[in-house]
Amino acid sequence: MAIVEVRGLRKEFDEVVAVDGVDIRSEEGEFLVLLGPSGCGKTTLLRMIAGLEEPTEGQILLGDEEVNGLPPRARGAAMVFQSYALYPHMTVANNIAFPLKAQRTEPSERLEKVKWAAGLFGIEHLLNRRPRQLSGGERQRVALARALVREPSVFLLDEPLSNLDAKLRAAARDDLMEFQRRIGITTIYVTHDQVEAMGMGDRIAVMDHGKVRQLGTPEEVYHHPADTFVARFLGSPPMNLLEDEDFTFGFRPEHFLPEGVAPDENNRIPFTFFVSRIEYLGSERYLYGHITGHEETKVIAMLPATVTLPVTANRDHEFSVAQDQMRYFDRDQGVRIPPQPLRT
Amino acid sequence: MTTRTRDRYLSDNPRFLAGVFMAPTIIYILALVGFPFVLAIIYAFTDITTGSPDLEFVGFDTFRAVLADPVFRRALANTFWFAVISNLFVVILATGLAELLTRDFKGKWFVRFLILLPWVAPVSLATITWLWTFDSIFSPIDWVLRQVGLISENMFWLGRPQLAMASVITVQVWRIAPLAAVIVMAGLTAIPNEINDAVAVDGAGPWRRLFQITIPLLAPIIAVAVLFGVILTISDMSVVFVLTRGGPTHSTQVLSTWAFFKGIEGGALGQGAAVALFLFPVLVGITAVVLRLARRREVL
């Protein structure tokens, strides 16, 4: 088990800056998620930790030891790839045994460890098959077993669930979490899927344009976004962001509630909400429209199915947001600022 | 719909287009490969000579006559060893070259160009250059060796049986290795990057990667390269013809040159055809086996 730390890490590919000064320090045994849109540098950051890319600047520390310049095999980090990258010409058993062979583990010990790793993921019955004879979920398990068999100090995962279909993904997420808790190994997990990030991460590093915009627990990044990028990137639908004279303010669709169902009527900021369209999604209703004074910006409200209050389209409704759920951001920089008096 | 309007859409018809596009190739193959091939099969069973072009069928007599000739047996053995030894070197060289050429370095395009040059140059022209390189008096190889002090008199590359064989093999390897390298390169670039990344993270060094991952994954494509190489060495006569004309004393004679000397220069068309056809079943066999192997080892 080891702590992963990067200091002032930078990576340039010719003209493009993929990673632009990143500082992150994981906890011991933490499940840390790197979340961001494609091209934000999260995979490059992971590859630098693995040793597959050399940073242009900055330090990488595994277990408080600098590993810059060391080849991947000297770093003790294991990695699972998006495509799983199983060796197609080898059986599952040989795939899992490959890292052990590279370490020159004794054949008898190797056999035992392969069995142990296969047992961890319930794939003992597949040991004699070849990758092309396996389903997506099975391949993923083989990739995980191969990564874990040499008991690495750090576990790096690059979108390992993105090749699975939606149903399988939920189950695989559950398996992965359970297993990570059991082994307690420090894990860095790259994804662009906020549901995965929120559900799995002890902490999430939200990245954009090579920079970490915010590093915090799922609650922190969701409820207290550091800037408008994080506010917009997390949540589905995302946070409503509106411009006041000198600042931007925002609120989550689920906090935008009609008069009469909102708790604590006193500390609320009222808005007149013109509902132009209603989407009924079973467990909730999405209301699309705009609020008086901000006609140019689309606003979404999300009412859970427990709110049965009838709402009709093409009409004004009285809605409000609790004062402590309102977020304020600098208009130019986008960073969060203390509460401001609203003009409206 | 009238015929006239339908004709306007003729170029939209895939079957019509397929016929039009394939016709030149098919005509070319039938006229320049198929027709002579059928002719050769017919000739092989007759006693036809350039002097008397009457077709009189003699069954397998031509083959019996050909087989009885010790020169033929020598040529058969030579053909076999030329093909095996040249392609052994070709595979090793091509795999090395391909590994090198997929790396990034300065002036890569120029090195690629240089390496491909032997393949682009016309065989006979290139072989004539080699003829000079191996010349008994002016050979630059000898000159260098003499300057270094390794030899005191010339080697006579093409005049001694062993050296002549080595020379022919050298030229064949030089000629075929670029093609094989390009084929292997295509195979190398087809290996997903993530596989190589996984190998690195899994802790394998360069040698383990080469022998346990790269070469096994390349095996089907190397098989295809070998197939091309074997066919090219067995069917080629220009290198031997220009360099040694089969000499000294048939020590570099191969089936293709022997067929030419026997059938065209010697006039025994029937026997020449029999010599030329002798390896046809073998080549078909090799092709079938290699293609089967290549398909079976096909990966994901």
B152-207 residue pLDDT tens: 777 777 777 788 888 888 888 988 888 899 889 888 888 888 999 999 998 888 88
What pLDDT does residue A344 have?
A: 57
Q: How confident is the model over A242-253, as a mean pLDDT?
A: 91
Choose between B116 and A54: higher pLDDT: A54
The token duo for B164 is: 């002549």
User: Does residue A2 have a pLDDT over 50?
Assistant: yes
On average, the pLDDT of chain B sits at 83
In which element (H, E) is residue B275 found? helix B269-278
The token duo for A185 is: 């190994």
Choose between B3 and A9: higher pLDDT: A9
Identify whether the C-beta of residue A55 lies closer than 8 Å to the C-beta of residue A199.
no
Chain A residue whose CA is closest to B297: A89
Lowest mean pLDDT among A299-308, B102-111, B141-150, B185-194: B141-150
User: Does residue B14 have a pLDDT over 90?
Assistant: no
Q: How confident is the model over B37-47, as a mean pLDDT?
A: 86
Q: Minimal Cα–Cα distance from A158 to chain B, Å? A: 11
Report the distance separating Cα A260 and Cα A263, nearest Å: 8
Report the distance separating Cα A334 and Cα A325, nearest Å: 18
Chain centre to alpha carbon of residue B34? 20
What pLDDT does residue A87 have?
A: 93
User: Does residue B234 have a pLDDT over 60?
Assistant: yes
Establish if A288 touches chain B: CB-CB under 8 angstroms: no
Q: How confident is the model at residue A248 (pLDDT cuts 50, 70, 90)?
A: very high
Report the distance separating Cα B195 and Cα B88, nearest Å: 27
What pLDDT does residue B245 have?
A: 80
Q: Between A72, A101, A103, which is nearest B200 by CB? A: A72
What pLDDT does residue B3 have?
A: 58
Residues of B in contact with A51 (CB under 8 A): 200-201
Identify whether the C-beta of residue A160 lies closer than 8 Å to the C-beta of residue A192.
no
Report the distance separating Cα B197 and Cα B209, nearest Å: 11
Q: Minimal Cα–Cα distance from B204 to chain A, Å? A: 5
What pLDDT does residue A218 have?
A: 95
The token duo for A173 is: 């997420």
User: Does residue A142 have a pLDDT over 60?
Assistant: yes
What pLDDT does residue A187 have?
A: 93
Q: How confident is the model over A130-143, as a mean pLDDT?
A: 90
Q: How confident is the model over B76-100, as a mean pLDDT?
A: 90
B270-291 confidence digits (pLDDT tens) = 888 888 888 788 888 888 887 7
pTM of the model: 0.77
Task: Report the share of chain B in percent with pLDDT over 90.
Answer: 10
Identify whether the C-beta of residue A213 lies closer than 8 Å to the C-beta of residue A298.
no
Q: How confident is the model over A220-233, as a mean pLDDT?
A: 94
Identify whether the C-beta of residue A143 lies closer than 8 Å to the C-beta of residue A86.
yes
Answer whether A132 sits within 8 Å of B299, measured CB to CB: yes
Q: Minimal Cα–Cα distance from A233 to chain B, Å? A: 28
Report the distance separating Cα B154 and Cα A219, nearest Å: 86
A56-94 confidence digits (pLDDT tens) = 999 999 988 899 989 888 888 899 999 899 999 999 999
User: Does residue B211 have a pLDDT over 50?
Assistant: yes
Establish if B195 touches chain A: CB-CB under 8 angstroms: yes
What pLDDT does residue B297 have?
A: 57
Q: DSSP for A24-50? A: EEPPTT-EEEEE--TTSSHHHHHHHHH
Identify whether the C-beta of residue A290 lies closer than 8 Å to the C-beta of residue A224.
no
Residues of A in contact with B198 (CB under 8 A): 79, 81, 85, 87
Residues of A in contact with B297 (CB under 8 A): 89
* Disruptive mutation site among B201, B212, B213 for chain A (greatest number of A CBs within 10 Å): B201
A154-179 confidence digits (pLDDT tens) = 999 999 888 888 888 888 888 888 88
What pLDDT does residue A285 have?
A: 92
On average, the pLDDT of chain A sits at 90
Q: How confident is the model at residue B27 (pLDDT cuts 50, 70, 90)?
A: very high
Answer whether A83 sits within 8 Å of B192, measured CB to CB: yes
Chain B residue whose CA is closest to A151: B202
- What is the number of residues in chain B? 300
Q: How confident is the model at residue A44 (pLDDT cuts 50, 70, 90)?
A: very high
Q: Minimal Cα–Cα distance from B106 to chain A, Å? A: 15
Strands A203-208 and A31-35: parallel
What pLDDT does residue B4 have?
A: 63
Listed residue (A251, A261, A227) closest to A325, CA to CA: A251
C-beta atoms surrounding A318 within 10 Å: 11
Alpha carbon distances (Å) from B150 to A14, B22, B51, B137, B154:
50, 58, 52, 16, 11
Choose between A147 and B143: higher pLDDT: A147
Answer whether B205 sits within 8 Å of A73, measured CB to CB: yes
Strands A154-158 and A186-191: parallel
Establish if A51 touches chain B: CB-CB under 8 angstroms: yes
Q: How confident is the model over A318-342, as a mean pLDDT?
A: 90
**Is the C-alpha dihedral spanning B257, B260, B265, B270 positive or negative?**
positive
Q: How confident is the model at residue B299 (pLDDT cuts 50, 70, 90)?
A: very low
Identify whether the C-beta of residue B108 lies closer than 8 Å to the C-beta of residue B101.
yes
Listed residue (A237, A233, A148, A135) closest to A185, CA to CA: A148
Residues of A in contact with B216 (CB under 8 A): 89
In chain B, DSSP assigns E strands to: none
Report the distance separating Cα A242 and Cα A249, nearest Å: 5
The CA-CA-CA angle for residues B181, B184, B188, to 5°, reads 130
Listed residue (B182, B9, B154) closest to B95, CA to CA: B182
